[in-house]
Structure 1
Amino acid sequence: MAQPARDLDKRPDPDALLALAGRDKRGKLRVFLGAAPGVGKTYAMLQGARRLKAEGVDVVIGLIETHGRAETAALIEGQEVLPLRQFDHGGRTFQEFDIDAALARKPQLLVVDELAHTNAPDSRHPKRWQDVEELLDAGIDVWTALNIQHLEGLADVVASITGVAVRESVPDTILQTASDVVLVDITPDELIQRLKDGKIYLPETARRATQNFFTPGNLTALREMALRRTADRVDDQMVDYLRQNAIEGPWRTSERLLVCLGGDAVAETVVRTASRLAIGLNTSWVAVHVQRPGVDDADPARAARIDELLRLVERLGGEVERLSGTDFASEILKYARRENITQIVVGRSHVGVVAKFMRRSLPDELLRLSSDIGVYVVTTDSEPVERKRNFRKLLHWRGAPVAALAAVVSVTLAVGVGTALTHWLSLPNLSMIFLTAVLFCAIRFGLWSAVAAAVFSFLAYNFFFIEPLYTFTIAEPHELFALIIFLVVAIFTGSLAGRVRDQAETVWKRAQTTQALLDFSRKLSGAANLDDVLWVATSYAQKTLGGSIVLLLPQDGEPVIRCSWPPVDGLDPGEASAARWALEKQQPAGWKTTTLPSVRFQFRPLMTPRGVVGVCGITPADLAEPLSVEDDRILAAVMEQTAVAIDRSILAGDVIRAAALEDNEKLRMTLLASLSHDLRTPLASITGAVTTLRQLGDKLPADERVDLLASIEEEAGRLTRFVANLLDMSRIESGALKVRNDWVDVADVIRAAVERIRKSFPARATTVSVAADLPFIRGDANLLEQVLFNLLDNAHKYGSDTGVAVHARREDDKVVISVTDDGVGVKPADLERIFEKFYRGGRPDGRKAGTGLGLSIARGLVEAMGGTIVAQSPAARRRGTRLLMRFAAAEQPPARGSGE
C-alpha cells in the first residue's frame, strides 16, 4: 500500500542529521554553568564523575581547582588524576594542565576545571578552552566548569553591572556547541552566607568580595543571565531534536541581524550589543564595514582598529563582510535586502552642525530609507570624547603641515596673479583664480588641503580685492553674498575634487595589486616543475610582504621545508609543532593565532579541493603589528594560487608516474609474452624429440635418431642464447657489465664471428670485406664478437636468402664496421625503435619474430665500449638494412703478433 504524501513530507531535516553525524565524531562537552564563583559547579561536576566511575566509565581527572575547599578535595580521593606539567616562570615553579598527557591517556571522560583559564606563555594554546577543543576533536568527552561572567559576549555587561573588568573569557560559541549545559544555581542570599562562612574564599578576601562583587544586586543580575543562557541552550536542543526526528511543532520566525561597523569608539559596544541580541533571538548575525575609498587606506590606525573589531565579531560567532562605496546607507540597505536581513544594528552618530547641514547621519538615513527593515540604534556617552580625540589626531596628522603649506602657497600665488591682472585688465570677478588654487590643492594634496585653501582664499579675496581694500570689512551687501557663495562653492568643489583624488589613488593601488597578482599568476603558470613553483611563490610573497617566507610540504606525514627566503636552516621545536598543527588540523597556527602564538612564524595551510598540499609560514617585518587588511588579502590570494599550482605539479608528477607504471606494465606483459613464446617453442621441440627417443628407442633408423639429437642440440643452443641475452640485458641495465680495455684486432674478431654464424646458417652466404690498413681499437674482443654475432644472426633471420655482407674500413680517426642484408628493410619511422627492448616491429611486410632483445643488447655492449651503432634503410638498391658501428681508432696500435 502506498504511503500517504503527507507522511512522506514528515522526514528528518537533512542538515540536522548531518550536524548530528558530525557531532558523533567529536567528543561531547558538558558545561557546568554558574552565576558566580562558589555556587558548587566543581562539586557537582565531581559528584557526577564519581557516579560514572562507579558505573564502570573510564573517568580521569585532568585538573581540578579546589581553592582550599575540603568538601571538593574529598571528592578527588580515589580518582585517577593526571600529573600536571611543571614549568618555571620568573624564578618560580608553576603547574599547568598537561594536554599531551591527556591525549596520550585518552580516557572516555576527562574532567577539566576552570574553562576560562589562561595558560602559561609556553603552552600550545593560550587558553584552556582551546585545549578542550583539541581534546574534543580527539574524541574525548570533557566535563568543565564556567561562570557566566566569562562569556565574551557578556564581558562589557558584567563590567558595567559589577564594576569589575573580566580579564579571562571564552567565546559564546563554546556554550552554543556544548552537548549539555548543567545550571548549578543557588539563591544570592545562600551564596553570600557561604562566602561569610569561609566556604569560598579566605576571610579577608571574602570580606572584600561582599563589598564589591558579591552584592545581592550583582548576583541577581548574574543569575538572570545564567538562567537566560541556559534556557536558550535548552531551546536549541529541543529544536534540534524536533528537526532530527521530524516532529511537527511551532517553529521560530527566522531572524537575521546586520551590524554596521565603523572605526569609532561606539563600534565595540555595537558589536557586543548585536551579539547579545542575536543570542537572545537565537539567530545569526553579520557585521558589515563599508570602506570609503581613500579614507581607511590613508589612516593605518583606523584600519587596525577595524581589523580588531572584525576579529572580535568572529570570536563572538558573527560573520564578516566588507563593502566599498561612498553612500553608506544605500550600500548597507542593498546588501541587507540581498541577504534577507530583518534588523539592522547601528551606533548613534554625533555629528557637528556643519555635517548636519550637509548630510543626514547614518541612523537617520537608514530610518528614512528602510521601510521594510527594523533599525536598532545603540547609544553611548563616549562619542563626544572620541570626536575630540579624532580632532586632536587630525591636528597631529603627519600630512597636515604639507597640506597647509600648499594651501598658503597656492593662495599666495593666486593673489599675485590676481594683482598682476588688475594692472592690465579690468576684471569684474577674480574668484575663478582662487577656485583654481583650491582645485590644485584638492587634486595634489587631498581634501583637507582643499578646505584650507578655500578658507584662505575667502580671507585673501576679501582682503586684497573687495572694497575697502586691505581690510576684512565689506562695504556692499552683494559683495558679502558673492564671497559667501564663493566659499561654499570652493569647499564643495574642493571636497569633490579631493574625494575623486582619494578614490583615484585607491583605484591605482588596487590596480597595482591586481597587476602584481596577475604577473604572479603568469609566472606560476609558466613554472615547469614543483621547485620552480615554490621559488616563484616564496620570492613574490617575500618581496610583497617583507619579513621571511617558508614553504613546507608533507613528507611521510611531517612538514618539511622545501623553499624559504631569506634562507631558513630549520625550525625550532615550537615552530615545527605549529607547522604540524596547521598541516594536520587545517587551521592557522603560530604568531598572532590561538595556537602556539609565541613562535615567530604564522603557519597557514595551503588548501585545495583535494585537501592540504602544504603549509606557508610567514614572519612579518614588524612582529608587534598584525598584518594589514591589504597584506592579508594579498597573502590569501598568493596562498590560494600557490596551492593550486602545487596541486597541479603534484598531479603532473602523478600522471608521469602513472605513465611510467603503464609502460612498465606493458613491458612486463611483453616480456611475459616473449618468454612464453620463445621458451615454449624450443622446449616443445626438445620434449617431443626426447619423448620419441624414449618411446621408440632402437626401432628408429640411425639417421632419424641423429636428426632428433641434432634437433635437441639446436633447440638447447637456442635456449642458451636466449637466456644469455636476458642475462646480458640485465647486466647492462644494472651497470654490472665489466668491459675490458684491451687492444682489439677488428679483423680477427670479424673472422671469428663469421665462422660462428656460418655454422648456424650453413646454407646462407656471408661476405667479408676488411680494409688492409684497418687500425686496432680499444675494447673487449669477446663482447665485440658477441655483438657481431647478434647482428649477423639478426640479418640472416630477417633478411633475404641472398646473403649478408660484413665490411670494415677506416674513416678519419674512426673504425667503421657495417653489417648489411638484402631483405625488405625497416620502415624509416622505426630505425631508432628497433634498438628498444622487446621491440619486434619495423618490417614493412608486418612480420614479427624473435624476442626483440638482440639489437638492444648490441647497442648496450657497443656503447659500453665507447662506440656508437645506428641503422640505415634502405641500404642499397632500395632494399635491405645496414647496421653501422663506429669505434675510435687506437692512437698507437701494437705490431701484430706482439703483446701490448
Structure 2
Amino acid sequence: MADPSRPGPARNGPKRPDPDALLALSDQEGREATSRGGAARGALKIFLGAAPGVGKTFAMLQAAQRLRAEGQEVVIGLIETHGRAETEALVAGLETLPRRQLIYRGVALAEFDIDAALARRPRLLVVDELAHTNAPDSRHPKRWQDVKELLDAGIDVWTALNIQHLESLADIVSHITGIAVRETVPDTILRTAQAVVLVDITPDELITRLKAGKVYLPQTAQRATENFFTPGNLTALRELALRQTADRVEDQMTQLLRQKAIEGPWGTSERLLVCIGADAGAVALVRKTSRLATNLNAGWIAVHLARPDRDTLDPEAERRITESLTLAETLGAEVLRLVSSDFTADLLALARRENVTQILIGRSRVGRARQLFGRLFGAALSDQLVAMAQDIGVQVVPLPHPVARLPGLGMALRRPGWLRDAAAAAVATLAAAAAGSGLNQILLLPNLSMVFLVAVLFCAVSFGTRSAVIAAFLSFVAYNFLFIEPVHTLTIARPHEFFALLIFLGIAVLTGSLTGRVRDQALAALRRSRSMQALFEFSRKLSAASTADEVLWATVSQVHNILGGKAILLLNGGEGLQTQAAWPPDDLTDPAEQSAARWALEKREAAGWKTGTLPNVRFRFQPLITQNRVVAVLGYEPPDRSKPMPADDDAHLNAIAEQAAIALDRVQLVGEAVKAAALQENENIRDALLSSLSHDLRTPLASITGAVSSLRQLGDLPEAQRQELLLAIDQEAARLSRFVSNLLDMSRIESGAIKMRRDWVDVADAIRSAVERLQKTHAGRKVKLSIAPGLRFVRGDQDLLIQVIYNLLDNAHKYGGEGEISLHARDEAKDVVISVTDEGPGIKPSDLERVFEKFYRAGGADRRKPGTGLGLSICRGLVASMGGVISAESPAVRRRGTRLLVRLPAAELPADLPSDASDRGGSA
C-alpha cells in the first residue's frame, strides 16, 4: 500500500516512476556519457574498511590492474604500501605520478602532487588514504579536498577510507577505542560517492594478519594488538562499517524502486533541527544530530539563537559557536543564525515553517539548587520546548557541559564584564543609602524603598539587566539593614514589613530586568540602524560610481571603515589577477595568497584564512559573483587573525561583497555596452562605405571603361562622337576624384590633420567661386544668388569655405529635385549667415540632425542617387574648424524643400587692409 503522504497517481491509475529518482538517474547517465574533456564532474569510488589492514589498498589495486588489462587508462596519484610486499607487487605496470618533495621543520616529506595530476588528467586516478592531513604549505589542508578538486575537474578517482575517519563517527570511535581520531572526512563525501566497496574481514583474521607482520612492523603490531586492535574494538568498528554500507544499499534500493514505480510503503520524510549554544558540548550535539539524520535519511538544520545584545558574548564563546556551525555545515546541515528575544516561540515558529519533525537540544545535569530555584535562575530552554511543542518531537540530549538557558540571573552572571556591573550596582546602592539617610533626617519619610528603586532603574538604564538585578539584591539588604526596625541588623521585627520588603525585591528585580532588556534592545536597534545606514551610504556611493575604479575604492574603504583590518580587490586582467584597489595600500606578494585568490576566482568559493583552502594565509578571499560570472575577488585580513570572525562582521562583509559585485557588474556592462555600440557604429559605417564604394566607384569606372573601349575599337568615329566620349571620361574621372577627395577630407577631419589657415576671407567671393564650380560640373543647373551688399569678412581658409558651399549646392542638386536652388548670404548680428535652399521633398524632423552623420542619407532621399553621404558630414567638420555652426531646416518654402544654414563669426577689417581685398579673395 502506497504511503498517503507521498504525492502520486490515483489508486487505480497507472503507476508512474518518481520524477526525482528519474532525474537522478538521468544525471548519472549523462555524467557517464560525457567525455572526460568536457565539463562533467568525475565519479568517486571509495573502498571502505573497518580498520587499517583489512585490505582496502590491496583490493583497490587489484581492481585497477583488471581495468588496465581491459585497456583502460589508470594512473596512480599516490599509494601507501607501508612496506607490504604483496601490495607493492600490484603497483607494477601502473603509471605512477611523482610525489611533491618538501622540507617541513627539517623533515623531508613526500606529498601528493595535485598540480601534476591536473596537468596529466587521466581517465582514472588512484589516490590512497582519503583522510590524510597535508603539509602546512599545501593548497588544501586535507586530502579529501584535493580529491574534490580532481572530481570538479572531471577526473574519476578511486580512494580508500577507514570507518573511524567519518566526521560524525569520530566521537563514537574515540569513546569505543579510547583513542582520539584527529583526521576526519565529512560524511557528505561518502554520501556523494558513485560507488562504495566494503572491504571486510573478521576480527580474528585481522589480528592474525597483524601478528604475522602484514599490517605493521612487529614492534608496532604488538602495541596495536594491546590497544586499538582488540576483538571488542574491531567488532564495534566492523558493525559501524556494515551499518554505513547497509544504509547506502538501502538508499540505492529505494531509488531503484522509485525509478521502477514499485509502490512502498515509504516512510514519511523526517527533518531535524538542532539548537547550537556557546557550550563546548555543542560539537558532540552536532555529531549526534548528523548520525541521526544519516540513519533517518533526513535533512537537518543547525540554528543558533542570540539575544539582541548578543555582541556581549566573549570571543571564546563566539569561537565555539562558529566552530559548531562550521562543523554542522561540513556535515551537510543548513546553518542559520537568528536574533530573538523569545527563544521558545521563535524556535517553534522556525520548526513549523521548515516542516521540522524533531528538535534536538542539549542539556547538562541539573543541580539541586536549580531544581529548587529554577525560575529564579532562568528556566531551561528544553523545558520550555517540551511544554509548548505539540506536534513536534523534542529530544533532550544529556551533555557533560552546561548549555544555554533562557535569560535569567544565571545567564546574566556568566556574561563578561560582571565585575564592572557589580561595582556600578554597589556604588548606586551606596548612593541611594546615603540619600535615604539624609532624607530620613530631614523629612522623616515612612517608606524610603522608592529611593533604592531609583538606584535599580539607574543601573538598568546605564549598565543593563545584570547590573540592575545585582542592585536590586543589594538594595534589599541595605534597606533592611539601615531603615527597617531593628536597624543595623538583618532581623525584621514586624511581619508586614517582611512582606513589604519581599514585594520591593520582586518589583525591583522585575523593573530592573525589563528596563535593562529595553536598554539592550534599544542599543541593538541602534547598532542595526547604524549598520543599515552604513550600508545605505555605501549603496549611494556605488550608485553614483560611473567607473570601475570608483566602485573598487569605495568597496575597500567601506570594508576598512566598518570592519577594520585590511581590504584588497583584485580583477582578472590579461596577465591574471591584478591588485586594483587596497586599503591601507598593499599588494599581494606571497605566492600562497596569489594561489588562494586564483582559487576563489576559478572555483567560485572562499579561500584563504579560516577556510578549507590555504587557511594559513593572511587574507580571506571571496569571489564577487553575479548571475553570470565572477567580476572580482575581495580579500579581507581581520585585525586579529587568531580569533574567528564575528557573525555580524561576516554578514557585513557578505553584504558589502554582494553590493560591490552588482555595482561592478553594472559598470562593466555599461562599458561593454558602449564598446558594443561603438562596434555597431563602426559596422554600420563599414557597411555604408562598402555600399557606397560598390556603387559610386563601379558606375563611373564602368562609364570610363566603356568609353575607352569604344575609342579603341572604333578608331574612325566621327569627331562629335569622339568628343562626347572624351567628355564622358573627363566627367566620370572628375566624379571619381570628388569621391576620393571626400573620403580623404573626412579622414583628415577626424584625425585632426587639416591645417586651417586663419586668413581674411571674402564670403561673397567664395560664394561666386563655388557657384561657378557647380555650373562646370552640373552644366545647365541654375542657382538664384542673393548676396547682401557690404557683406562682412570672416577669418578662415577660403579654399575650404568654397568646398563647404560647393558641397551644399551639390547636395541640393542631388536631393532637391528639379526646382530652383537659392543661395543667400547676409549679415546677422555678429555672424555671417549663408543659406542654401532647395524645393525638393524635404527632410523629416527626426532626420534634421542625422543628415550630418557620416554615410547617412535622409529617409526621403532617393537611395539610387549617386553619393556617399559624406558631403554634409565634411561640411560640419570644416565649418566647426572655422568656429561656425551648420544646421538644417525643413520645410523651407511652401511646405517643401530643405534649407541648410551656415553661421560663421564675422570679423572686422583692419584699417590698413587694401581696398581691393575682396578681388584677391581676402588675402591679408
Equivalent residue, structure 2, for 1:344: 359
Residue deviations 1:275-302 (CA, integer Å, cap 9, x gap): 1111222222211222222145443432
The answer to whether the 8 Å contact 2:821/2:839 transfers is no
How far, CA to CA, are the matches of 1:795 and 1:96 in structure 2? 83
1:281-292 matches, cutoff 5 A: 281-292=296-307
Candidates 195, 198, 217, aligned match of 2:232: 217
Answer whether contact 1:777 1:890 (CA < 8 A) is retained. no
Paired letter, 2:626: T
Distance 1:818 1:302 in 2: 84
Distance 1:512 1:8, change over 3 A: same
Deviation at residue 129 of structure 1 after TM alignment: 0.5
Q: Are positions 1:512 and 2:566 aligned together?
A: no
Equivalent residue, structure 2, for 1:853: 870
Counterpart Cα distance in 2 of 1:447 and 1:4 = 61
Tell me the equivalent position of 2:855.
838
**Higher alpha-carbon deviation: 829-838 or 192-201:** 829-838
1:733 aligned onto 2:740: no
Aligned equivalent of 1:883, options 867, 885, 902: 902
1:223-246 deviation line (CA, Å, top 9, x unaligned)? 111111111122222223333444
Q: 1:30 to 1:753 in 2, by over 3 A?
A: same
**How far does residue 606 in structure 1 lie from its aligned partner after superposition?**
1.8
Q: Which residue of 2 aligns with 1:379?
A: 398
> What corresponds to 2:498 in structure 1?
480
How far apart are residue 32 of structure 1 and its match?
1.4
**TM-score, normalised with respect to structure 2:** 0.86
- Report whether the alignment pairs 1:17 with 2:30: no
Shift of 1:100: 0.8
1:710-721 equivalences in 2 (<5 Å): 710-721=727-738
Distance (whole Å) between structure 1 residues aligned to residue 110 and residue 279 of structure 2: 42
1:403 Cα deviation (Å)?
1.7
The 3-state SS of whatever aligns with 2:95 is coil
Matches within 5 A, 1:768-807: 783=800, 786-794=803-811, 801=820, 804=823
Flag the 1:375–1:832 CA change in 2: closer, same or farther, 3 A.
closer
- Tell me whether 1:40 sits opposite 2:58 in the alignment: no
The verdict on how the C-alpha distance between 1:457 and 1:199 changes in structure 2, with shifts beyond 3 A counting, is same
Secondary structure, aligned partner of 1:599: coil
CA deviation vs aligned residue, 1:500-523 (integer Å, no higher than 9, x gap): 222222222122212222222233
- Is 1:635 equivalent to 2:643 in the alignment? no
3-state SS in 2 of match to 1:88: strand
2:436 is equivalent to residue 429 of structure 1: no
Paired residue for 1:621?
639
Residues 521-532 of structure 1: pairs in structure 2 closer than 5 A: 521-532=539-550
Question: For 1:575, which of 576, 579, 593 is the aligned residue?
Answer: 593
CA contact (8 A) 1:766 1:806 kept: no
Question: For residue 456 of structure 2, what is the aligned residue in structure 1?
Answer: 438
- Change in Cα spacing, 1:744 to 1:219, as seen in structure 2 (3 Å) is same
The answer for the alignment partner of 2:471 in structure 1 is: 453
Residues 483-502 of structure 1: pairs in structure 2 closer than 5 A: 483-502=501-520
Matched, 1:756 2:764: no
Paired residue secondary structure (1:75): helix
Comparing 41-50 with 391-400, greater Cα deviation is found at: 391-400
Shift of 1:7: 3.7
Once the two structures are superposed, residues 749-798 of structure 1 have per-residue CA deviations (whole angstroms, 9 ceiling, x without a partner) of: 7776565344335653586979999989676x755554454345446666
**1:459-494 CA distances to partner (integer Å, 9 max, x unpaired)?**
111111111122222222222222222223222222
Of 325, 348, 356, 1:333 maps to 348
Question: Could you say which residue in structure 2 is the equivalent of 1:416?
Answer: 434
Query: In 2 relative to 1, CA 521–188 (structure 1 residues): closer, same or farther, beyond 3 Å?
Result: same
Q: Which residue of 2 is the match for residue 148 of structure 1?
A: 163
**Preserved contact between residue 794 and residue 906 of structure 2 (Cα < 8 Å):** no
The AA in structure 2 aligned to 1:17 is L
CA-CA distance at 1:639 after TM superposition: 1.6
Q: Which moved more, 1:363-372 or 1:281-290?
A: 363-372
- List per-residue Cα deviations over 1:696-739 (Å, max 9, x = no partner): 9878x75566445434432332233123212332343355x453
SS of structure 2 residue aligned to 1:587:
coil
Alpha carbons of structure 1 residues 589 and 467: separation in structure 2 relative to 1, 3 Å: same
Amino acid at match of 1:710: L
Structure 2 SS opposite 1:9: coil
Q: Contact 1:743–1:893 at 8 Å: present in 2 too?
A: no
Residues in 2 aligned to 1:323 and 1:801: alpha-carbon distance in whole angstroms: 84
Tell me what 2:174 maps to: 159
For 1:618-697, list aligned pairs within 5 A.
Answer: 618-672=636-690, 674-675=692-693, 678-679=696-697, 682=700
Query: Following the alignment from structure 1 to structure 2, what is the Cα–Cα distance between the partners of residues 303 and 132?
Result: 31
Contact 1:795 1:804 in 2 (8 A): no
Equivalent pair of 2:784/2:820 in contact (CA under 8 Å): no
**Range that drifts further, 123-132 or 299-308:** 299-308
Partner of 1:566: 584
Compared CA separation, residues 328 and 882, structure 1 to 2 (3 A): closer
Q: CA deviation at 1:102?
A: 0.8
CA RMSD, Structure 1 to Structure 2 (Å): 4.0
Does the C-alpha gap of structure 1 residues 55 and 436 become closer, same or farther in structure 2, counting only changes over 3 Å? same
Deviations 1:375-408 (A, max 9, x none): 2222133449x99xx9999889663333223212
Matches within 5 A, 1:290-305: 290-295=305-310, 297-305=312-320
**The residue matched to 2:91 in structure 1 has which SS?**
coil
Give SS of 2:523's match.
Answer: helix
In structure 2, give the amino acid aligned to 1:403.
Answer: D
Deviation, structure 1 residue 419: 2.5
Does residue 1:590 correspond to 2:598, yes or no? no
Q: Does the alignment pair 1:363 with 2:382? A: yes
Q: Residue 196 of structure 1 contacts residue 206 of structure 1 at CA under 8 Å; is this kept in 2?
A: yes
Report if aligned partners of 1:796, 1:821 keep a CA contact under 8 Å in 2. no
Give 1:96 shift.
0.7
> Secondary structure at the residue paired with 1:453?
helix
Residue pair 1:116, 1:168 contacting (<8 A) in 2 also: yes
Name the CA shift for 1:793/1:348 in 2 (closer, same or farther; >3 Å).
Answer: closer
DSSP 3-state at the match of 2:300: strand
Aligned residues: 887
Alpha-carbon shift at residue 654 of structure 1 (Å): 3.9
Task: Please name the residue that 1:870 is paired with.
Answer: 886
2:35 alignment counterpart: none
**How big is the shift at 1:170?**
0.8
- Which residue matches 1:407? 425
Aligned to 1:537: 555
Moved more, 230-239 or 294-303: 294-303
CA deviation after TM superposition for structure 1 residue 328, in Å: 2.5
Tell me, in whole angstroms, the C-alpha distance in 2 between the residues paired with 1:40 and 1:504. Answer: 64
The one-letter code sitting in structure 2 at the alignment partner of 1:229 is Q
On the 8 A contact 2:131/2:144 being kept in 1, the answer is yes
Equivalent position amino acid for 2:242 in 1:
L
- Whichever residue aligns with residue 638 of structure 2, its letter is P
CA drift of 1:548 comes to 2.0
In the alignment, the residues of structure 2 paired with residue 892 and residue 612 of structure 1 have an alpha-carbon distance, to the nearest angstrom, of 71
Of the three residues 68, 72, 75, the one matched with 1:53 is 68
Cα distance 1:418–1:100, how it changes in 2: closer, same or farther (>3 A)?
Answer: same
Correspondence 1:68 to 2:70: no
Comparing 121-130 with 530-539, which one deviates more in the overlay?
530-539
Deviations 1:619-650 (A, max 9, x none): 22222222110011111111222222223333
Counterpart-to-counterpart distance in 2, 1:516 and 1:369: 40
Paired residue secondary structure (2:98)? coil
SS in 1 for 2:454: helix
Question: Structure 1 unaligned runs (5+)?
Answer: none
1:192 aligns with 2:207: yes
Q: Distance in 2 between matches of 1:86 and 1:845?
A: 79
TM-score where L is the length of structure 1: 0.88
Distance in 2 between the 1:734 and 1:818 partners? 28
2:223 maps to which of 189, 199, 208: 208
CA contact (8 A) 2:126 2:158 kept: yes
* Cα distance in structure 2, aligned partners of 1:632 and 1:21: 40
Distance 1:376 1:768, change over 3 A: closer
